[in-house]
Structure 1
Amino acid sequence: MPVIADSKKRANSNTSTSDNRVSKKKVSAIMTIKQTPEEEAKAKDYFQPHVLDPKFREDLKKTISESKPYNWGTIKDLMDEELLKNVRREMIEEIQFTKKETDIYKVFQSGDLANLSALPESMRSRLPNLYKLRSAIYSQTFRDFISYVTGCGKLSGIKTDLSLNTYIKGCHLLTHDDVIGSRRVSFILYLPEPGKTWKPHYGGSLRLFDSIVSNVPKSDVFCKLTPQFNQIAFFQVSPGWSFHDVEEVKVDKQRMSIQGWFHIPQPGEDGYIPGEQEKTEARSTLQQLESKELKEYDFPKLQFNELPPCELKELSVSEDEELELSQDDIKYLAQFVNPSLLTKESLEKLNNIFTEESVVDVLSFLNTEYETLLKKKMKQLELNEYPPMPQQQSEVKYPWKLAGPSHKQRYIYMDGLPKQDMTTAESIVKMNTVTSQEQPSFGLTKQCIELEERLNPIPEAVKLDNPQATTATEVDIKLCELAQFFKSISFKKWLYQVTGLTILKDQILIRRFRPGHDFILATKLDENEGEDKTRLLDGVLDATLNLTPSSGWENGEHGGYEIGMIDEDAEVIPDEKLNQFNEDEAAIYKSSDKDESLVYESQASWNNLSLIFRDESVLKFVKYVSFQAVGSRWDISCSWKCKNDGADDDEN
C-alpha cells in the first residue's frame, strides 16, 4: 500500500528558505569613508614593491585589454605577506561566519561589519590588520591603479563595500554578472592557507563565462582562476557580460576571501557624472532577466501543447457528469501505476487532500514490477555509463538537450521534439522565427533512440575493458514510455479523479540534474502571452515524478531538492537599496521571511509523485546538485493548463 501524504511541510534546517533569502538586514560592509593624508601615505607600504612599479602596471594594463571573455586581471603577491597573514588570523579568531544558503549560493559569511572607522575603539582594536587592509585597498593610490589598468574611469573614494567569506566543502556561487547599483569594479582577495598551494581539483575557482548575446551567458566555462594566498582577481562590472561563478569547493579545506567592489564616483567627487548610475542600473541583468527579448534564449520553452480535439472531447464532461475511469483505462494504468492507487478509496483520499491543500505527495507511485526493473537499469547506468555523463554542451547528444541560459538554469532534458541547435545567436533566432507545427512525440523520440543504438553499439574494445559498460538507451526508452504515459487520456482521467481538474494543455519534460553542474533558480509561473485565458484557470497543475535511484539525499546537503514558496508578501528590492546588500544576497532579489512561505519541498527520491496547483504567487527552484552527490537527480516534470469551468474565483 503506498503512502499518501499531504505535501505541505516545513523544510529541515539544511533546506530552509525562511531565513536564507535576502533579508532587509545589511550584511556586507557598505562604508562611507574619508581617509586622512597619513592613512593615504601609509597605504603604499602595505603593497608588495612590484605592484606599484610603472612597468608592471603597463604590462598588466596590456594583459587586461587583451583578456577574454571580457577584461579581467589578477595580481599575485599583492599585499605585504605578514599583514595578510594577520588579517587571516583576525578573520578566524574575531569574525563569526554564518552559513547562508539560497537557490544561487551556499557560503559562510561574516555578519554586519558596518563602517570599520565608526566601530568602538574596543572592537576596532581587535581588527587592526583588517582596518589597515581596508585602508590600503580603498586608498587613492590603489584606486588610481585599478582605474588605469582596467580603463574603467574614476572610482569613488567615499563609497566602498566588502565582505568576508569562507567557502568550505560543498559551498558554491552560481552564475551572475555582479551588476547592482553603482558597482564599477569587482575584486576578490584570496586567503586560503598561507604556505600551501590551493590545487585545481580542490574546486573553489573563479570561473568566467562568455556570452551568446548580452545578458545571455553560455553554459560552458570559458576559463578559470585557481586562487592562491595573497592573490587578487578583479574585473570591470559590465551589464550583461561580466558573468562568472565560484566553483563548488570539493575538499575539506577553507577557501577564505575578502570580496568587494569599487563604485562609480558619488556626487561631489572627482569624476562624478549625473545620471551615470541610473543608466547602469537600467541595464542591470536583474532588470532584464524576464524581458521578452531574453526569453527567446530560454530552453526549454514553457510551451503548453493543445490536446487533439478527439482527446478534448473524451475528457469533456457536463456539470451533471463525472469523468469516470473505464475498465480499459484501469487496465492501461495498471501497467505503470501501483494498483492500490486505482481503487475508489485511494482516489477519494487523494482528492480530499488535494481539495484541502492544493498539494499532495504520492509515495510508491509506480507499480513494483515496473519500478524494480527501471531502478535496476538506472543504477547500472550511473555506475557504468558509456559514454560518460556529458560535462560540456558539445557532449550532450540528441535526444537529450541542455537547458539554459546558465544564469537561470542548467540541466539536460528530453522534450519529445526534434533536434535543435542552441549554440549560437543565429541558430536560436532562426528557431524562434520559424514556427514549428510539430507536437512533442516521445514515441518518435523512442524510435530515434533505438536507431542510434543499432547504428552505434558499444565498441568491442570498451566491452573488453569494462564488461559492465551500459549505454543510456534502455533507461531512455523506459523514460520515454513514462512520458508517453503522462500524455495519455487514461492518466488525464486519473488526474481528474485526484484533482477535479480537466486538462486542456500539457508540457512533459524528462530531466536529469548532473552532480556538480545543474540547478534551476527561483522562478515564477510564466504565463503564455496571447493565448485565450478566458477558458483557463489562473495557474497550472504541476507534477514531478522523482526517479532518483541513488541514496543520501534526505538531509538536503547535496542539493537536488525542489522547493515551492509563496511569494505574496515578497517585494522587489528598490534599486536604490540594492547596494546595501553584498554580491551574493543582492543576486537573490526576492525576499521571503516567513516559515509559512514554504508550500512544499520535494527531496530527490525514488518513485514519489508530487502534485501541486500553483499560480503566479508561487516561486519554484531546484537546488544546485553538489559534486558530492552519489548520482544525478532524475525526474519527469509535467505541467498542465486546466479548464475554467466558470466557477467564481474563491471556488477556483
Structure 2
Amino acid sequence: MKRKAPSNPVTQTQKQLSLEDDKVKALFNQKIWDPKFQDELKDEIANAKPYNWGTIHDLVDDDLLRAVRKEIETEIHFTKKETDIYKVNQSGDLANLSGLDWNDLSRLPNMYKLRQILYSEKYRDFFGYVTGAGKLSASKTDMSVNTYTKGCHLLTHDDVIGSRRISFILYLPDPDRKWKSHYGGGLRLFPSIKENIPYTDPCAKLVPQFNQIAFFKVQPGFSFHDVEEVRVDKHRLSIQGWYHIPQKGEDGYIPGEEEAWIDQNISTLAQLESRTLQDFEFPNAEREILPFHQTKHYERLLTGEEDNNKDCKFLSEALKLTEREIQYLSQYISPEHLTAEGITKLQKSFEDNSSLQIESFLNDPKSDLLKKLIKHDELNKECPMEAKDVKAPWKTATPSHKWRYLYMDGKSHEYFATEEDMLENLNNEEPSNFKWLKETLINAKTSNNDNELEIALVDLAQFLKSLIFKKYIATLTLLCPLAEKVIIRRFRPGKDFTLATKCNLSEVLKGVEGFVDAVLEATLCLTPSNGWTSGEVGGYELYMADETIDEEEKDDTQYERDVEDATVYRRDDAGDSVLINKPASWNSLNLVLRDESVMEFVKYISWGAESSRWDVRIQWDVKSMESDV
C-alpha cells in the first residue's frame, strides 16, 4: 500500500507552544543577531573553499542543549544501520522530528523547543542571509538524530535529494570534554575537478565540538563531503537536518522552482549509474574484446560459425581440458579443482546457483609465496594514503563518490601524474598489457626498489588472462568469454570501498549469437589477515537484488524521508535482498554471473582491520554454450 507523506499540520496545541521572537533570540548565542557578525560570516561563507560552508561555535543556549542531550540519551533508542555508504546508529521512532505528537513532546520538551527555534522565522532569515540561500521553508522541516560510535562512518556524497537547499549538523558530543582530531568523526569537504567529479582526498576538515554547528549550501555536483570513521570508543552525537525550498503559500515561494530544481539535479545514486560519469571512471568500465583468432576452436565458438544443433561433439571436445592444459593450470590452481571429480562438482554448483565460492583456489606453493610477499609489504612498506603519494605501478580508483582503492591494470602510468591529467587524457588509454608491465617492473627493480610483490601479482594476472584459464572457466560455467577486464586491487584500512552499482553490459557484443545479458565476475581474494568474518571491519563483497522504488508508486516527499540520512539510497547488508555476502579471506575465488538487476559492492575497510583487503578482479562478457552441449 502506498504510504501517505506526513503533512506536518500545525495543531492548536503547537500554536500555543510556539515561541515569540524575543524568546527565540534569547535561546541563541546573542552574537548571531549582531549585523557586523552576520556580514563577516556571510563574507567568510561566500569565500570558503571548496564551496560555500561555515561553522558557528556555541550556537544555542548551553543549558538548553545540555538538556536536549540528556533527553536523547535517556529517551531515544538507537539502532545500528549499515549500508554500502554508511555505518551509523540512528534513532528509530524519532528519526524524523517533524512528526512528533503530544506524547513525544511530553518526554522530549527540550528537543521540541530546539526544533522550534531552529526552524523559527527569525533563525531561518538569519541562516538564509549568511549563506546566501535566501528564503527557506517553514513547513518542510527535516531533522534526525545520529550517534557515531567506533567504526561508524559516512562516505562521500553531495546531499542532493529533492528540495534541499542547506545542510546542517549540530554537534552534541560530551560537553565537558574536547573532541580531538585523532578520534575521527570529522566532517571532511572535497573539492571537485569538474561537476560530479570530486577529488580523491578532502581539502578541509572540521573537528566537531559540543554546541557547534556546521552547514553548507547544497550545490549539486559540488557539495561533496563525508564523515570520517570514528576510531575510539566514544559517542559523536549529532542532530542533522536540512532547510528546503519554500513551499506553496510560504514567503519566498516561486511557482515551479522546486520542480525545476529536482529535474535539473540528480541524486548521487543517479550520478553513479549515469553514462556520463562512466566516461570519467578509472579504472574504466569497458572490457577489452578478446582476440577471437587465438585458436581455431575459439574462433568458431565466438563467431558462431559452427552448427549449434549438429556440432555438439566439437563443443564437448573444445571444453574437455587436455593433459597439457591441466598441467599448465596446475602451476597456479590447487589439484583438487582440476580433477574430473572436482570439475564436475564445481560445474554442478554453478549450474544450480549461477555462482561459485571456491576456497583454497591457488595451490600451496603459489599461495604461500603470495602470502609471504603481501605480509612483507604490509609490515615493511608505508602504504600511500593520499592520491598524490601513489606511485607507479599503482593508481587510485576514481571518482571518490563511487569507489576508492589502489589498483594495477597492466596499463602505463604516463597519464596519472595528477587527477587533472587523468581527465585530460581520457582518450589516450592503451589496452591492458601485463606482460609489458612485468618487464617494466623487472627493469625498475634495484636494491632500493623491492617490487617482488608487484611482479608476483602481475604474473598471477597474466595467468588469469591466459587462453587456457578462460577455457577452464568455460568448462566450469558453460559460458564462453567474449571480452574481459583484469585488475589487481588493494583496499586500504580507513580509506577504501566501492559503492553498490549495477553491471554494464557490452553494447558492441550484443549482436553475437548466444550473447548473455549478464556479466561473469570472478574475485580472487588474497587478504592475509584474520578478523573479517563478522563483517565488523568491513571488506566483505556483497551481491544484492536491486530494490529501487517504483517511480509510479513512490510519493516524492515520503521518498525523501525514507532516505534516513544524508545518503541518497539505502543498501542494507541484511535481509532477503542479499544474494551473496563474502567476507574477505585468503585464497578464495568468488565467481558470480549477474545481470543488471543485481548490485555489488565491497564494504568500506575500517581502521580496525589488521591489513588491507587484496584481490584480483576479473569481468567477462560471455556467450552461452548450454544449448550446444
TM-score, length basis structure 2: 0.91
SS at match of 1:227: coil
Pick aligned residue for 2:31 from 33, 50, 68: 50
Code of the residue aligned with 1:305 in structure 2: it is E
Query: Given that residues 179 and 209 in structure 2 are in contact (C-alpha distance below 8 angstroms), is that contact kept between their aligned partners in structure 1?
Result: yes
| 1:332 has 2:328 as partner | yes
Aligned to 1:478: 456
| 1:354 has 2:346 as partner | no
Pick aligned residue for 2:581 from 590, 601, 610: 601
Aligned to 1:441: 433
Code of the residue aligned with 1:581 in structure 2: it is D
Kindly provide the CA deviation profile for residues 234-278 of structure 1, in whole angstroms up to 9, marking residues without a partner as x: 011111111100000000000000000011100011111112112
| 1:543 has 2:534 as partner | no
Aligned to 1:579: 560
| 1:306 has 2:289 as partner | yes
State which drifts further: 532-541 or 262-271. Answer: 532-541
Unaligned runs of 5+ in 1: 1-22, 459-470
Call closer, same or farther: CA 1:119–1:571 in 2, change over 3 Å: closer
Aligned to 1:638: 618
Pick aligned residue for 1:431 from 420, 425, 434: 425
Aligned to 2:304: none
Higher relative contact order (CA 8 A, sep 6+): 1
| 1:285 has 2:267 as partner | yes
Query: Given that residues 273 and 501 in structure 2 are in contact (C-alpha distance below 8 angstroms), is that contact kept between their aligned partners in structure 1?
Result: no
Shift of 1:559: 0.2
Code of the residue aligned with 1:600 in structure 2: it is I
1:226-625 equivalences in 2 (<5 Å): 226-282=207-263, 283-286=265-268, 287-311=270-294, 313-315=296-298, 316=300, 318-321=311-314, 322=316, 323-385=319-381, 388-421=382-415, 427-434=421-428, 438-454=430-446, 457=448, 471=450, 473-535=451-513, 536-567=515-546, 571=550, 575-582=556-563, 584=565, 587-588=568-569, 595-625=575-605
Shift of 1:528: 3.0
Shift of 1:193: 0.2
Call closer, same or farther: CA 1:307–1:117 in 2, change over 3 Å: closer
State which drifts further: 591-600 or 98-107. Answer: 591-600
Call closer, same or farther: CA 1:25–1:484 in 2, change over 3 Å: farther
SS at match of 2:561: coil
Q: For this pair of structures, how many residues does the alignment match? A: 607
1:93-172 equivalences in 2 (<5 Å): 93-113=74-94, 119-172=100-153
Aligned to 1:218: 199
CA distance in 2, matches of 1:428, 1:196: 44
Query: Given that residues 82 and 572 in structure 2 are in contact (C-alpha distance below 8 angstroms), is that contact kept between their aligned partners in structure 1?
Result: no
Code of the residue aligned with 1:396 in structure 2: it is V
CA distance in 2, matches of 1:137, 1:413: 46
CA distance in 2, matches of 1:635, 1:117: 45
Pick aligned residue for 2:54 from 73, 93, 96: 73
Kindly provide the CA deviation profile for residues 92-130 of structure 1, in whole angstroms up to 9, marking residues without a partner as x: 000011111100000001113288686454431211111
Shift of 1:32: 5.6
Aligned alpha-carbon RMSD (Å): 2.5
Code of the residue aligned with 2:582 in structure 1: it is S
Shift of 1:31: 4.8
Shift of 1:446: 1.4
Query: Given that residues 273 and 502 in structure 2 are in contact (C-alpha distance below 8 angstroms), is that contact kept between their aligned partners in structure 1?
Result: no
Kindly provide the CA deviation profile for residues 335-369 of structure 1, in whole angstroms up to 9, marking residues without a partner as x: 11111211000000100111111111111011111
SS at match of 1:541: strand
TM-score, length basis structure 1: 0.88
Call closer, same or farther: CA 1:262–1:290 in 2, change over 3 Å: same
CA distance in 2, matches of 1:30, 1:451: 69
Q: Identity across aligned pairs (percent)?
A: 50
